[in-house]
Chains A and B, each alone.
Chain A
């Protein structure tokens, strides 16, 4: 096999394994070699499993393969998993000091599903602390660098997963998306990231930041790879009370099933998503893709959804409120970091949390405590829930006429490390395009649209109605064909 496994798409790797051109051990060795070469420049991983462990697992799976007993759809593929997804007996930190040594006694449901399909867990990827961030700069374990430009951020909060993909360290990855955390890094690293419909993928084992907004999302370098991963992880889960019981289609098959898309799909671009704060470069690059679609015969209308202006504050009020609640459990009694102070439980709790949480996390918890507290609850949290209803109503109306909404994923190309970190509001502004999908609960995907000057990736975002991942993926695959931008690996 002349081409290194790490350069291949996941589906290609699987085909080569099945045809006997590659063994699983070969594949793991190739990826490990790549990791060894680039990881110190990128810092995509917080925890990597040991070489011995990985090779041993690969050997076992090769033997099963030879004996005809390997039936999994993921067939020995190495997968990078964001470090807020619980992995049994494998350290899970959420990028935080307060969980720096936490070893879960159970697997998240998605991890169980991956293992059942034969995947090999490569390691846990870096992230903004507790998923609070858009650049992967707030991690206790240091920032992750964008493989396309090591002085720039890879996006966040699933920056580690995206960087691992873009640098060829892994063919598939899992991230989580609360306000854009799968799509933003996909956009910044020229990879593909999907946020599923709320409830499609089990959250059991996803360490919560904002539980009414977040989903675990599949990430890869091609649309079809992401569809494959979605097939595996999108099962109904009785352990998650918000898991949808609906029958899931085969997402990979759907891509080929939908032909003559231009006849079936009416596309809309939302005016407000191309205005405030979006750089001219991004508008141009995304606009070019839209023009190509028009050339292909698609109807593309421009619509206006004024209430979207309020999506960002609505999102942050809800997210911070939920965060203040979901992070209350970290007090050093049952697991994690505990401050070395004497005193009563109030003192120990306060020191532990003051010391164990990073600044952004503390900011959001304090703000979230404010928005939920007596006297402020009605005009902030409760009102935000009502604005949420309004936004949902507007999107419902839009989807009555249109099947796909298109926008840029990020308002700018990847910015420099340190550029926005000092100003929380500047950082929050990066989310303007992505938060609406979380507020409404609809699926959204980011795929590469093009490169800005200095070869900086720019992503395009597609949104569809609830449970329309099949259409979304078909549309995304179509655009991928048009642009030719697929399976892009940065030369680090």
Chain B
């Protein structure tokens, strides 16, 4: 539900997980699940004397993302130091960019198109920076409040981050979530971030309600949580306003456990980051030629892909957009098409409605979906050839998704081949008529009662009987009963 007086801006931090090393050193970047402090070197540990050297690929990826977001890329990248003390920051400063004192972000401006409930909207990008991730703090008691000390793991320290800051163009939590989903799809299509990885996409949100002060919410771990946090915050602020309490400008922390926002400890002094240029890293000059080279090598973006789906496969805008919300799904669709090219719309339909619905219901991540594109193609062919009914298809789809068994396997295992043999069906209908004489009498007077009889045939054949044929035969045999040609 959009409100005219809610303004939401996002500050998204995305890890460039596709990089093999960190931003300023050659430590391997695959630190997840590894023992603490085993992906660390003098540079990312901030040891005295160590010096940063920039990862070339990180700059390439940053340029790609800027192009995908329609941002204007700066001709010269200068790194700055942002100073603040914290145990997860080994040098007690972070190397990033700054937009004053002859510094500039990697890219400024740009936009993203989102679609919420059929309404299209543009969210403007303010700037894009590239910077290093700090280490991770672990609280021995599980809570920041009660832990008597803090454990620190610097494996994540130095990982390359893109910071993407938007203008406060969003007006509802749903729009914020849509933005993050679209951003995620773009990053996946570019191949720079596997956003499934834990902590690979984090967001801080800024929100003001009814023209009031801006509240910043930090520590939101996933796009889903962003929607929850913002929804909570809107309610909290509205309640405060209705009570006559002035909402003050502050920073709040999203408590994921209790699902509320809590105020962060207010410091007596304000933050002064003392930004100044990083003398250990010479400027990086980005030429127009270089940008063009990267633009040419860029993979297809979601919007372009959706357009292609519409033009080449006759899908609707809605269908195309749903398919490209995740690169995985769009890839799956195109791969399945290779095996079933005759009816793209039908394929899209099955994926969007039955397949996706099931996946969302069970909250499955792509790596837990075992179905292969060929399986879905096979399924549709079986349907077309009338070997199975649509009902059977929906029945066995979950097993394909969860276990990755092929349709043929499941059909033969469970003996689900559609019965289209007239004689077989006639026999079963006769059985049903005999077992449900009363219903037969009902059906003779009330047409609608036929469905009960058809249902019984389906039950007996465990759904295998061809529904159309069954319907026809039941009608025929009822006629015969009426005429007295058939006695039950």
A and B part of one assembly: yes
Task: Give A contacts to B, CB under 8 Å.
Answer: 85-86, 92, 94, 99, 102, 104-106, 108, 203-208, 211-212, 238-242, 321-322, 324-325, 328-329, 331, 333-335, 345-346, 349, 369, 372-374, 377, 381-382
Q: Is residue B150 within 8 Å, beta carbon to beta carbon, of the partner chain?
A: yes
Q: B90, A334: Cβ atoms under 8 Å?
A: yes
Closest to A333 in B: B87
Q: B49, A206: Cβ atoms under 8 Å?
A: yes
Quote the shortest CB–CB distance from A194 to chain B (angstroms).
21
Q: B47, A335: Cβ atoms under 8 Å?
A: yes
Q: Is residue B54 within 8 Å, beta carbon to beta carbon, of the partner chain?
A: yes
Nearest first, the 10 A-B pairs at minimum CB distance are: A212-B279, A328-B92, A372-B274, A207-B48, A205-B49, A86-B49, A329-B91, A207-B49, A241-B53, A211-B279
Q: A374, B272: Cβ atoms under 8 Å?
A: yes
Quote the shortest CB–CB distance from A116 to chain B (angstroms).
19
| Chain A proximity mask over B48-83: 1 for CB below 8 Å, otherwise 0 | 111111100000000000000000000000000101
- Among the listed A211, A238, A373, which residue makes an inter-chain contact with B280, where contact means beta carbons less than 8 Å apart? A211
A374 and B271 alpha carbons, distance in the complex (Å) = 10
Closest to B79 in A: A241
Quote the shortest CB–CB distance from A351 to chain B (angstroms).
13
Question: Which residues of the partner chain B approach A372 to less than 8 Å between Cβ atoms?
Answer: 83, 274, 276
Q: A329, B274: Cβ atoms under 8 Å?
A: no
Q: B81, A325: Cβ atoms under 8 Å?
A: yes
| Chain A proximity mask over B6-18: 1 for CB below 8 Å, otherwise 0 | 0000000000000
Main SS at interface, chain A: loop
Most central of B42, B45, B274, B276 by chain A CB within 10 Å = B274
CB-defined A-B contacts under 8 Å, sample of 26: A86-B49, A102-B48, A104-B47, A104-B49, A105-B42, A105-B47, A205-B50, A206-B49, A208-B48, A238-B53, A239-B53, A240-B53, A242-B51, A242-B280, A242-B282, A329-B46, A329-B91, A329-B92, A333-B87, A333-B152, A334-B45, A334-B46, A335-B47, A345-B87, A373-B274, A381-B276
Q: B48, A325: Cβ atoms under 8 Å?
A: no
Question: Which residues of the partner chain A approach B245 to less than 8 Å between Cβ atoms?
Answer: none
A240 and B150 alpha carbons, distance in the complex (Å) = 33
Q: A240, B51: Cβ atoms under 8 Å?
A: yes
Q: Is residue B356 within 8 Å, beta carbon to beta carbon, of the partner chain?
A: no
A324 and B54 alpha carbons, distance in the complex (Å) = 23
Question: Which residues of the partner chain B approach A374 to less than 8 Å between Cβ atoms?
Answer: 272, 274
A325-B83, A328-B92 known; A345-B274 Cβ under 8 A: no
Q: B101, A204: Cβ atoms under 8 Å?
A: no
A86 and B304 alpha carbons, distance in the complex (Å) = 53
Question: Which residues of the partner chain A approach B48 to less than 8 Å between Cβ atoms?
Answer: 86, 92, 94, 99, 102, 104, 207-208, 329
Quote the shortest CB–CB distance from B59 to chain A (angstroms).
13
Quote the shortest CB–CB distance from B213 to chain A (angstroms).
21
Closest to B267 in A: A346
Question: Which residues of the partner chain A approach B101 to less than 8 Å between Cβ atoms?
Answer: 377, 382
- Among the listed B46, B150, B279, which residue makes an inter-chain contact with A322, where contact means beta carbons less than 8 Å apart? B279
Q: B274, A239: Cβ atoms under 8 Å?
A: no
Question: Which residues of the partner chain B approach A85 to less than 8 Å between Cβ atoms?
Answer: 49
Q: Is residue B93 within 8 Å, beta carbon to beta carbon, of the partner chain?
A: yes
A377 and B91 alpha carbons, distance in the complex (Å) = 21
Q: A108, B280: Cβ atoms under 8 Å?
A: no
A480 and B51 alpha carbons, distance in the complex (Å) = 37
A335 and B47 alpha carbons, distance in the complex (Å) = 9
| Chain A proximity mask over B237-261: 1 for CB below 8 Å, otherwise 0 | 0000000000000000000000000
Most central of B152, B279, B282 by chain A CB within 10 Å = B279
Closest to A382 in B: B101
- Among the listed B47, B50, B93, which residue makes an inter-chain contact with A328, where contact means beta carbons less than 8 Å apart? B93
Q: B92, A208: Cβ atoms under 8 Å?
A: no
Quote the shortest CB–CB distance from A88 to chain B (angstroms).
11
Q: A106, B47: Cβ atoms under 8 Å?
A: yes
Q: B274, A369: Cβ atoms under 8 Å?
A: yes
Q: A377, B51: Cβ atoms under 8 Å?
A: no
| Chain A proximity mask over B269-308: 1 for CB below 8 Å, otherwise 0 | 0001010100111100000000000000000000000000
Q: A204, B49: Cβ atoms under 8 Å?
A: yes
Question: Which residues of the partner chain A approach B54 to less than 8 Å between Cβ atoms?
Answer: 241
Quote the shortest CB–CB distance from B50 to chain A (angstroms).
7
Question: Which residues of the partner chain A approach B276 to less than 8 Å between Cβ atoms?
Answer: 321, 325, 372, 377, 381
Quote the shortest CB–CB distance from A482 to chain B (angstroms).
39
Question: Which residues of the partner chain B approach A238 to less than 8 Å between Cβ atoms?
Answer: 53
A241-B282, A345-B87 known; A373-B53 Cβ under 8 A: no
Closest to B270 in A: A374
Q: Is residue B85 within 8 Å, beta carbon to beta carbon, of the partner chain?
A: yes
Given A211-B279, A241-B53, A328-B85, list of 17 further CB < 8 A pairs? A86-B49, A99-B48, A102-B48, A204-B49, A207-B48, A241-B281, A321-B276, A325-B276, A328-B93, A329-B92, A334-B45, A349-B85, A372-B83, A372-B274, A372-B276, A374-B274, A381-B276
Quote the shortest CB–CB distance from A361 to chain B (angstroms).
14
Quote the shortest CB–CB distance from A316 to chain B (angstroms).
16
A333 and B149 alpha carbons, distance in the complex (Å) = 12
Quote the shortest CB–CB distance from A111 to chain B (angstroms).
10
Question: Which residues of the partner chain A approach B83 to less than 8 Å between Cβ atoms?
Answer: 325, 328, 372
A230 and B50 alpha carbons, distance in the complex (Å) = 22
Question: Which residues of the partner chain B approach A373 to less than 8 Å between Cβ atoms?
Answer: 272, 274
